[in-house]
Amino acid sequence: MPPCEVQPQPYQSLPYEYLQQVHQAHSGYLGGKLYRRPLLLHQGHMQWLWDTDGRRYLDLFGGIVTISVGHCHPKVVEAVTKQIHQLWHTTNLYMIPSFYEYIEKLAATLPEPLKVIFLVNSGSEANDLALFLAREHTGNFDMLTLGGAYHGASSQTMGLTSLSTWKFNLPTSFGIHVTMCPDVFRGVWGGAHCRDSPVQTLRSCSCLPGSCHAKNMYVQCFQNVLESSVGKKVAGFICEPIQGVNGTVQYPKGFLKEVYDMVHSRSGLCIADEVQTGFGRLGSHFWGFQSHGVMPDIVTMAKGIGNGFPLAAVVTTREIADNIGQAKHFNTFGGNPLSCTVGSAVLDVIDEDGTQACSAEMGTRLMQALAKLREEFWVVGDVRGKGLMIGLELVTDKESRTPLPREEVAGIAQDVMEAGVLLGTGGNHNNTLRI
């Protein structure tokens, strides 16, 4: 490992075995299931994490695409410390300076007319509010989402999520229609020039320059759903610019632009879920939707917005936002002084540290190196992504693209962790390493 100037504090809390007992007795979460022996972490600094034994790990998962500027970044810590001694919480029924300072700064990162902001606490909550806004503004009910999407785990957003791993045997938010995932690696159609990525699939392609058969076919599938499953008007369509939980799945270039046009032609709104793709992570643009050349009506964001602090946002137009004034809408913790201070500090650090440019340069360099592993090892079926949002899909056979079994992927993740590097896993088959 490269050296690190920070030495961790000695761990002085409860013993590991006792905490495991507490977890089994009282925790409602399935935490710690990633490795055979769950990691007990107690300190972080930038790209590093330390466990309770003082062992250092290189964090290439970032708290599930959440640590956008580094663990405990000194400038963020300084801003939080100052604010927590000044004012922790009141209510957004009052005017609070840090709230207005932050939303003005956040609005400046988005194009016109996306300038009206609602602050909430999580990505699920942001997408829940976006769904409500789309239905309230249009007066329509039907929503469309892509197969393989993840948009949250609330009772409403669970309906927008279309990954079997995250589905329960309960009715969730009727009126939502799932369309085919335009996955050019694993899907029905794909090719060698489809993705906006430094690395393309190994699938053959006979498309002429400027044309994409895969894109045309996936657009047609979306059109078929519009013609067969919904009315003449829809409430909207929600989509991640790159699917995160599904294993960094990218769509054919031009797909989103045509789909947005079809949704708008039916009076629907288009929602860009930037929970994982926003804040410069993709390198080429600050927001993922910009890399597709589209203009959404609503943008949702969370995770990297607060570098791990519970903060999220919905950004839309004044016309759409004003619909919420027909009845009272309130969020107790949304936009409190502490969260706004964190969000503002994160934006400052992204700018000052050149984080977006780093994502572009280092992400391209890393993907090209991973592509060499694909040439060398049969188990590496695909390398994809953009900036520092990367997926490495593991297979048993490159021709059939058969997913590597979950237990073997878990074994690889275990070995990587024991070497001191933390990765995530994802995809409906859980066979993609997420970086």
Topology of the domain comprising 79-352: Aspartate Aminotransferase; domain 2 (3.40.640)
Helices 255-265 and 213-229: angle between axes, nearest 10 degrees: 20
Nearest to 384 by CA among 198, 182, 183: 198
Taking only the tens place, the pLDDT of each residue in 180-205 is 999 999 999 999 999 999 999 999 99
Nearest to 241 by CA among 258, 255, 225, 221: 255
d(CA 98, CA 106): 12
The answer to whether 241 touches 271, Cβ cutoff 8 Å, is: no
- Identify each DSSP E strand in 149-251 by its residue range: 176-179, 236-239
Domain locations along the chain: 1-59, 79-352
Instruction: Give the β-pairing of 424-426 and 143-146.
Output: unpaired
pLDDT of residue 146: 98
Confidence of residue 329 (pLDDT cuts 50, 70, 90): confident
- Percent of residues, the chain, with pLDDT higher than 90: 87
Across the chain, what does the average pLDDT equal? 95
Taking only the tens place, the pLDDT of each residue in 362-420 is 999 999 999 999 999 999 999 999 999 999 999 999 999 999 999 999 999 999 999 99
Taking only the tens place, the pLDDT of each residue in 200-221 is 999 999 898 889 999 999 999 9
Confidence of residue 323 (pLDDT cuts 50, 70, 90): confident
Predicted confidence (pLDDT) at residue 33 exceeds the cutoff of 80: no
CA 362 to chain centroid? 19
pLDDT of residue 31: 63
Nearest to 396 by CA among 404, 384, 388: 404
Amino acid at 56: R
Predicted confidence (pLDDT) at residue 317 exceeds the cutoff of 80: yes
Supply 18's token pair: 């006792």
Backbone dihedral region for residue 356 (phi beyond 0: left; psi -120 to 50: alpha; all else: beta): alpha
Q: Which helix (DSSP H) or strand (DSSP E) does residue 145 occupy? A: strand 143-146
Predicted confidence (pLDDT) at residue 173 exceeds the cutoff of 80: no
The separation between the first and the last C-alpha atoms of the chain, rounded to the nearest angstrom, is 17
Cβ neighbours around 229 below 10 Å, total = 13
For residue 146, how many C-alpha atoms fall within 13 Å in the half-sphere facing its CB?
29
User: What is the pTM (predicted TM-score) of this model?
Assistant: 0.96
Taking only the tens place, the pLDDT of each residue in 217-256 is 999 999 999 999 999 999 999 999 999 999 999 999 999 9
d(CA 377, CA 394): 10
The answer to whether 163 touches 150, Cβ cutoff 8 Å, is: yes
d(CA 35, CA 382): 24
The answer to whether 331 touches 316, Cβ cutoff 8 Å, is: no
* Number of DSSP helices (H) and strands (E) in the chain, helices first: 12, 16
Nearest to 389 by CA among 420, 433, 345: 433
